[in-house]
């Protein structure tokens, strides 16, 4: 079964594109999940918030509804609010839950939009890929020319 991990990190990145790209691949995994329900939950999970700025223009940021994200995580679809570049994986609770679920063999492939979703620097990304590979999970970055990443 495929899992999907989304990290919503800025107003410039369209989360809808991430959702659609990953779900198109995940739907082919042969699981009996209700993809219509998952799509509906994803549409409720992220919302826009306008924040005032000093130049009198509002800035739009994306926010995650944590109760909906928890509902999705139960189905191995993880949507997490991005953190600052100084915040590592340990401060990302759904990322940690995803790794626990991988250890329990709830999925064998992790779909990510880009491998950068797994960490803020290459060291963190590589560490995560190896950790997941040791658990038998292949990381599949959808927007990458490298293809699936595993321990072989």
Residue 138 is predicted with a pLDDT of 92
* 56-60-66-71 Cα dihedral, nearest 10 degrees: 150
99-150 confidence digits (pLDDT tens): 999 999 999 999 998 888 888 788 988 999 999 999 999 999 887 666 566 6
pTM over 0.85: no
What is the length of the chain?
Answer: 152
* 85-49-35-89 Cα dihedral, nearest 10 degrees: 20
Q: 16 or 8: which carries more pLDDT confidence? A: 8
Complete domains list, the chain, with CATH: 2-141 (3.40.50)
26-56 confidence digits (pLDDT tens): 888 777 788 889 889 988 888 888 888 888 7
> Smallest Cα–Cα separation from 19: which of 111, 95, 146, 129?
111
């Amino acid at each position: 079964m495929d899992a999907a991990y989304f990290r919503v990190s800025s107003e410039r990145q369209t989360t809808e594109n991430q959702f659609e790209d990953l779900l198109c691949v995940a739907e082919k995994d042969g699981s009996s999940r209700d993809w219509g329900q998952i799509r509906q939950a994803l549409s409720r999970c992220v919302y826009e918030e306008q924040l005032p700025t000093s130049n009198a223009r509002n800035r739009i940021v994306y926010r995650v509804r944590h109760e909906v994200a928890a509902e999705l995580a139960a189905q191995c679809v993880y949507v997490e609010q991005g953190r600052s570049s100084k915040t590592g994986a340990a401060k990302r609770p759904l990322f940690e839950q995803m790794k626990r679920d991988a250890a329990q063999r709830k999925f064998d492939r992790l779909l990510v939009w880009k491998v950068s979703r797994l960490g803020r620097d290459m060291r963190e990304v590589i560490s995560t890929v190896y950790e997941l590979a040791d658990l038998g999970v292949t990381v599949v970055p959808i927007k990458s020319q490298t293809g699936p990443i595993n321990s072989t």
